[in-house]
Structure 1
Amino acid sequence: MKQFIETIKIKNFKAFQEEQVFDIKGKNVLVYGTNGSGKSSLFWALYTFLQSSIKSDDEVKKYFETFDELNKQTHQSLKNVFMPDNADSYIDITFKDEHNISRSFQISHNNINTNNNTDTRVQELNLASDFINYKLLHNFYNTSHKQEINLWPVFERDIFPFLTVGTQNWLEDIIKSLTNDVPRTPRGNVASRGRKIRYEEELVVLNGKIEALLEEIERNANKFLKEEFFENKDVIKVDLKYTKKFNFNKVRQRLWREDMAYKRREELQIKLSIKLKEENSTDWKTIHRPHSFLNEALLTRVAIAIRIGATQTRLESLFKILVLDDMLISLDMSNRMDVMRLILNVDNKAELSFFDNFQKIILTHDKGFFNLIQRHTDDNDWVYYKFIKDESKNEAPKISNDLTHLQKAEKYFEDAELENCGNELRKAAEQVLTQYLDPNMKNLKSDFESLGTMLNKAINEINNNRFNKFKTNFLSSIELEKLKKIKEDYLIDGSLSEGEKTALTNTKTRIFDLLIELNSVSHKKETLLINTKEILDRIMNAASHAGENPLYTTELKDAIVKIKELKDFLNT
C-alpha cells in the first residue's frame, strides 16, 4: 500500500528547541539554510527516528537523556543543550496511506512505539529508505595517499543497514546470524573441532553472499556511470573486491564490540579500485589508489554511482524516503544539476524509475541550487522551507515556508502591495516558461532571455509541436497520391478498392480529430501566452499603476488567474 509522511514534529532535539512542525502533506521537501541553521538536525532526526525501529528501547532512550558530563551513559544525548533539563524531547512522525488513514509514531525518553511488531510501518520505511550526505560521499575517498581505499566502514555504517535480507537489514544479518562470536561451550571456551569446521563452512557461505552483493552493486554502478554520466561511452569502471573476509580467528576477537571499530577496519576490507579506458584501445588501466590520481568531481560521481548501485539492489517499495543533505557540495552547479536530473528522473527513464516512489527531502546551503530546483519543480508536489539562524545567539533556527513567486504575488495582492505583486508575477511567468521551455533542466548556462523572448519562444514551440505531431501522424505514413484523393469524392473513384476507400475514410477522420485536438489545446495555450504577454506588458508599465489606479488592481487580479491557468495548461 502506498504511504507517505504527512507531518514531522521535532522538539528539543539537536538544533530544534520548542516544537517545530513540518506539515508536508505527503509532498517532497526542499530546504534552504545556511551552515549551522539546523538542516542537518532535520536529517539526523529522520535518520534517528527510522533507525530506532531496529534498536531496543534503551538504545533509543540514550538520545533523549539529559547530558551529564560525569555520566558516560548520557554522552550520546542529542537533546538541545540550551533547553531546561526537564524539557520534553521527542521526534513524532505521522504517516498517511492512500485511504487517508493516519497513524503517528514517536520516540522520546518515555515513549517509543517504532520498534514493536504490532505495526511494522517504521521498520518497513527504514529498510526501504536512503540517507545520503556529503560526509558519506567524502568517506568513499577520505584516505591517505599511501593507503588503498577500504570501503568496509562505509558499507558497515551507510549501506548494509539500508539493504534488506528477509525481514532484517544486511548488517543485522551479518552480525546476528554468524559473526557476533564463534561457537563456544557453556563455560565460554571455543567449541569442539567438528563444530569449528562446520562454523568455518558457514563463514565461507556468508563471505560468498557478501561477494555476490558487491558484484551486483558493481554491475549497477558501472551501468549507471556509463549510461548517466558518460553518454553510454566506456570511460570509467568501478572495481569492488572483498579482499579481507571473515574467518574464525577474526570473529573470535568479537569484532562487534564498541571498542573494536578500528580493529574491524584493519581486519575487513572492501577495496575500491578504478579502471580507466585507454585511448584507441580495448584495454583498461587499473588505478589502485584512485584518490591520489582522480579529481574530486570524478570521485564524487563514482561514490554516487556505488551508492545508487546499492539502492538498486533492493526490492521495490511504495513507502520510502530519500534524504539528501548537501550531497553534491563538491560538484559545480552544472554537475549538480546533472545528478538532480537523474534523481528527479526528469526524462522519465525506465531505468531510473526506482527514484519515482521516493518521498524526497533535499537539504542545501546553496541558495542558487535551491532556486534552480524550486524553479524546475511544482508546488503541487513539493513544499519549500527556509532555515535561518543567527550563530551568535543560542536560539533555535527560524523556519518558514519559502513561497513560490506565484504564491508571493497572491500574498502581496492580498496585502495591497501592488508593485511587489507585479514584480513577483513577472518572476512567476518566467518560472512557468522556464519549466515549459527547459523541462529537462539542461540550459542552465544559456544567456539571459527577457520575458518577452521567452513568451515568443513558447508560442513558436507550440506551433512547431503542432506541425510535428501532424507530420509524424500523417505525412510520413501515407502515400502522397492517396492523400490528395481525400480532397476529392473518392467514394465514387473506380480506381480504388473498397478497402482503400475505407482506409482513406479512416485517415480523413483521424486528420480532422487531430486538427480539432491540436487547435483546441494548442490554440488555448497560444491564447494564454498572448494574453499573459499583454497583461504583463501593461502591469510592468510604471505609468499603469501610478497612484491608486483601479484598472491596475483589476489587471493584477486577472494576471494571477491567467498565470495559474498558463502553469496548469502548459503541463498538459
Structure 2
Amino acid sequence: MKKIKEIKIQNFKAFQKEQVFPINGKHVLVYGNNGSGKSSLFWALYTLLQSSIKEDDGVKKYFKKYVASNKGTHQTLKNVFMDENEQSFIKLSAIDTATQHEETFTISHDVINTNDDANTLIQELNIASDFINYKLLHNFYRASHKQEVNLWPVFERDIFPFMTDGTQNWLDDIIKAPTLDVPRTPKGAVASRNRKQRYVDDIAALNEKIQNLLNEITGHANIFLKDHFFEGKDVIKVALSFEKKFKFDLIKNKIWEDNKQGQRHDQLHIKLGVEIYDDTIPEKWRAIERVQSFLNEAQLTRIAIGVRIGALRTRPLASARFKILVLDDMLISLDLSNRMDVVRIILNKEEKEDLKFFDGFQKFILTHDKGFFNLIRRNTDEEEWVYFNFNKDEKDSSAPKIKEDESPIQRAIKRFEEGEFEASGNELRKEAEAILDSFLDPDMKFFNQKFKGLSQKLDDAFKQLIDKRHKDFTEKFINDLDLSKLKKIKTDYSTDGTLTAEEIANLDSIKTRLFDFLIEFNEKKNRKELLITETKDILDRIMNAASHHSENPLHREELKNAIAKMIELKEHL
C-alpha cells in the first residue's frame, strides 16, 4: 500500500514561500478560516494528480508568469503577490508502507515527472482517487422553482473531471472527437452526407455510453441512500437520465469554446428524477416534480451525496495500491446532525462491510467550522491522523499561517512547562471530556444529546465498565458452565476415580480459564475503574480549581501527576 508522506507547495494559489506538510502516511484533518488556503491544498493535490494524464505543456501553463497580453499565461496559478521570477512548484513524496521505499514527484514550469510512462504511480493515484468540494452540493439544487433540475453543469464541473475512464478523466474524454467539432472539409465547410452519417453514429454511441454510466451511478446511489441514510427502508430513490443529448447541429456550433458555456448548459440536460415511497398508492412510489421546491435541503443534500458516492462506486478501486479522498467543506450546508451521519459513513465508524471501500483511502477532510473540526478530531486516532490549523487575515496579502493543531493534552503539557498551571488545568479538563465523549459514544451517534457535566460522564463511564465486567463474566462462564462442574472444581477432582481422563482434562481447562479470567479481570478492568475514580479526584482537586475562583492552589507535583493520569486514562479507554 502506498501513502502520501509529505507535500511541499511553493508559490501556488494561496501559498507563497515553501509550505511543508509532514503527513507520514496518515489521514489529514484541516481547520481554517475562509481564504486561509484549504482550497489551495485541495487544488494543489488535484492539479498534481491530473498532471499524470496531461502533456507537459498542459501542466506548465499553471506555472507560467502572467502576461496580460498573452492569453497562454492566463491559466497560471502562481500566487499574485509573489515575485514573478520566484520558483513555483508542487511536490509529493510517496512511501510504501511495507518496504518504506520513498519516491518524490514534482510539477513545475521546468520539472514534470508525474506523466512518465516508465513510472505510472501518479496515474494510478489519479485513477483511484476522488475530490469532492462544497460546490457540488449547492449546484445540485440551485435551479429556480419553475425549472427542472438539470445536472449537466454539475456533472461537467464537479463529477466528470473527477472520474476516470482508463487514464483519461471523463470530461476530457467527452471533449475529444466527436464533440469537439463536426467533420469538415479542408476549407472549413461541413463534410459530406456519408461522413456525416458515420459521425452521427459516433455521437449516438457516446450518448449511450453516458446514459449507461448514469444508470450505473443511479444503482449505486439508491443502494447507498437506502442502506446508510434511511436505515434500509424505502424512502427516496433517484434516477438520472440523459434527456437532451449531443447532436450534430449542437456540436457544429463548437460548444466547447469559452463563450459557449451558457448554450452548452442549456442544450445538454441530465434530468434528476426523484420518487418518494408512498404505501397509500398502488404503485408505492410517487414521482416528485421540481425537487428543489418540494424537498428540504437535508433531503436534497443526501441525494447529492448519494449520487456523488454512487459515481465513486462505479470505479474498480479494490486493487488500487494508492488512493486518496479529499473533501473540501463538502458538508457546509448541512446541520451538525446530518454532517455527522456523513462523517460516520466516510470514517466507517461502525465497521460496516459494504463501507469498507472507504477504508483504503488516505483521507483529507478540510473544514472552516471549528466545532466540526474538534468533533471529528476527538473521534479519530492521533496515531492515524495528523491535524493542521490554517489561519489567514483576509485584510492583507500575507501567506496563510499553518501549524499542526495541538490537542488539549498537548496544550496542557505546554502550559505546565511554561508555569501557567491554571491554563494547564483547564486544558486537562477539555482532554478528560474528549476522552469520555469518545469512550461513551464511539460511533458518534449521541453528540447532540442533552449536555452532561464531566462528573456525570465519569459516573456513566464507571457504570459502563461495571456492566461490561458483569456481561463478560456471564458470557464466559454462567451461560455455558453448569453448577455441577463448578462444584467439582472445588474438590480434589484429579484423584476422583469416577472421572475419566478426558473429564479431568476438561475440568483442568475450565479451572485455567476461570483463573486467567479473574486475573485479567482484576489487572485490566480494575485499572480502568481505578483511573475513573482517580479522575474524579483530579476533577475536584485540579480541574475545578483551575476553572473557578478557589483558595486551593494548583501544586506542581499534583498537576504533573494529573497530566500523567490523563495520558494513562486515554490509553486504557
Change (3 A) 1:501 1:264: farther
More deviation, 492-501/554-563: 492-501
1:209-259: CA deviation from partner (whole Å, max 9, x where unpaired):
332322221121111111211122111111111223345555555544444
Number of the residue aligned with 2:463: 460
Match of residue 538, structure 1, among 537, 541, 566? 541
Number of the residue aligned with 1:310: 311
Where do 1:90-129 residues align within 5 Å? Answer: 90-98=89-97, 99-129=99-129
Report the AA paired with residue 266 of structure 2.
E
Q: Distance in 2 between matches of 1:274 and 1:479?
A: 58
Q: Distance in 2 between matches of 1:26 and 1:468?
A: 38
Q: Distance in 2 between matches of 1:399 and 1:567?
A: 27
2:472 pairs with 1:469: yes
TM-score of the aligned structures, taking structure 1 as reference length:
0.90
Q: Distance in 2 between matches of 1:96 and 1:61?
A: 26
2:280 pairs with 1:277: no
Cα shift at 1:279: 4.7
Classify the secondary structure of the residue corresponding to 1:385. strand
Report the AA paired with residue 229 of structure 2.
F
Change (3 A) 1:503 1:284: farther
CA contact (8 A) 1:343 1:355 kept: yes
Number of the residue aligned with 1:64: 63
Cα shift at 1:373: 1.3
Change (3 A) 1:6 1:254: same
Q: Distance in 2 between matches of 1:522 and 1:47?
A: 48
Q: Distance in 1 between matches of 2:249 and 2:460?
A: 70
CA contact (8 A) 2:61 2:76 kept: yes
Number of the residue aligned with 1:410: 413
Q: Distance in 2 between matches of 1:512 and 1:215?
A: 60
Q: Distance in 1 between matches of 2:498 and 2:382?
A: 59
Change (3 A) 1:18 1:509: same
Report the AA paired with residue 155 of structure 2.
F
Classify the secondary structure of the residue corresponding to 1:540. helix
Classify the secondary structure of the residue corresponding to 1:150. coil
Unaligned runs of 5+ in 2: none
CA contact (8 A) 1:379 1:404 kept: no
Report the AA paired with residue 429 of structure 1.
A
More deviation, 181-190/408-417: 181-190
Number of the residue aligned with 1:28: 27
Q: Distance in 1 between matches of 2:498 and 2:235?
A: 60
More deviation, 37-46/540-549: 540-549
Change (3 A) 1:398 1:209: same
More deviation, 253-262/128-137: 253-262
Q: Distance in 2 between matches of 1:381 and 1:326?
A: 21
Q: Distance in 2 between matches of 1:125 and 1:20?
A: 22
Cα shift at 1:70: 2.9
Where do 1:184-223 residues align within 5 Å? Answer: 200-223=200-223
Change (3 A) 1:39 1:513: same
2:558 pairs with 1:555: yes
2:150 pairs with 1:147: no
Report the AA paired with residue 396 of structure 2.
K
Change (3 A) 1:243 1:508: farther
Q: Distance in 1 between matches of 2:202 and 2:545?
A: 80
Number of the residue aligned with 1:443: 446
2:167 pairs with 1:164: no
Change (3 A) 1:503 1:116: same
Change (3 A) 1:555 1:255: same
Change (3 A) 1:184 1:436: same
2:435 pairs with 1:432: yes
Where do 1:147-546 residues align within 5 Å? Answer: 147-176=147-176, 178-181=178-181, 200-281=200-281, 283-316=284-317, 317-478=320-481, 487=490, 506-540=509-543, 542=545
2:54 pairs with 1:55: yes
TM-score of the aligned structures, taking structure 2 as reference length:
0.90
Cα shift at 1:471: 2.2
Report the AA paired with residue 114 of structure 2.
T
2:83 pairs with 1:84: yes
Report the AA paired with residue 351 of structure 1.
D
CA contact (8 A) 2:441 2:447 kept: no
State the superposition RMSD in angstroms: 3.1
Change (3 A) 1:497 1:232: farther
1:340-386: CA deviation from partner (whole Å, max 9, x where unpaired):
11111111111111111221111111111112112212222222222
Change (3 A) 1:192 1:8: same
Q: How many residues align?
A: 568
Change (3 A) 1:487 1:390: same
Report the AA paired with residue 110 of structure 2.
N
More deviation, 138-147/335-344: 138-147
CA contact (8 A) 1:64 1:77 kept: yes
CA contact (8 A) 1:134 1:325 kept: yes
Classify the secondary structure of the residue corresponding to 1:391. coil
Q: Distance in 1 between matches of 2:204 and 2:516?
A: 67
Cα shift at 1:193: 5.8
Q: Distance in 2 between matches of 1:254 and 1:260?
A: 8
Q: Distance in 2 between matches of 1:512 and 1:382?
A: 39
Change (3 A) 1:181 1:454: same
Report the AA paired with residue 154 of structure 2.
V
Report the AA paired with residue 332 of structure 2.
I
Change (3 A) 1:409 1:285: same
Report the AA paired with residue 438 of structure 2.
Q
Cα shift at 1:553: 2.0
Q: Distance in 1 between matches of 2:522 and 2:191?
A: 82
Cα shift at 1:178: 5.0
Q: Distance in 1 between matches of 2:32 and 2:564?
A: 32
Report the AA paired with residue 7 of structure 1.
E
Classify the secondary structure of the residue corresponding to 1:342. helix
Cα shift at 1:445: 1.9
CA contact (8 A) 1:272 1:288 kept: no
Cα shift at 1:46: 1.8
CA contact (8 A) 1:545 1:552 kept: no
Report the AA paired with residue 313 of structure 1.
T
Number of the residue aligned with 1:14: 13
Change (3 A) 1:205 1:517: farther
Q: Distance in 2 between matches of 1:254 and 1:485?
A: 91
CA contact (8 A) 2:26 2:384 kept: yes
Q: Distance in 2 between matches of 1:376 and 1:261?
A: 43
Q: Distance in 1 between matches of 2:501 and 2:265?
A: 80
Classify the secondary structure of the residue corresponding to 2:93. strand
2:142 pairs with 1:136: no
Classify the secondary structure of the residue corresponding to 2:374. helix
Change (3 A) 1:507 1:128: same
Cα shift at 1:298: 1.3
CA contact (8 A) 2:53 2:167 kept: no
More deviation, 250-259/101-110: 250-259
1:120-140: CA deviation from partner (whole Å, max 9, x where unpaired):
222211211111111111111
Classify the secondary structure of the residue corresponding to 2:158. helix
Classify the secondary structure of the residue corresponding to 1:442. coil
CA contact (8 A) 1:405 1:424 kept: yes
Classify the secondary structure of the residue corresponding to 1:110. coil
Cα shift at 1:303: 0.3
Q: Distance in 2 between matches of 1:141 and 1:504?
A: 68
CA contact (8 A) 2:7 2:91 kept: yes
Report the AA paired with residue 304 of structure 2.
A
More deviation, 207-216/364-373: 207-216
Q: Distance in 2 between matches of 1:165 and 1:504?
A: 63
2:570 pairs with 1:567: yes
Q: Distance in 2 between matches of 1:500 and 1:214?
A: 65
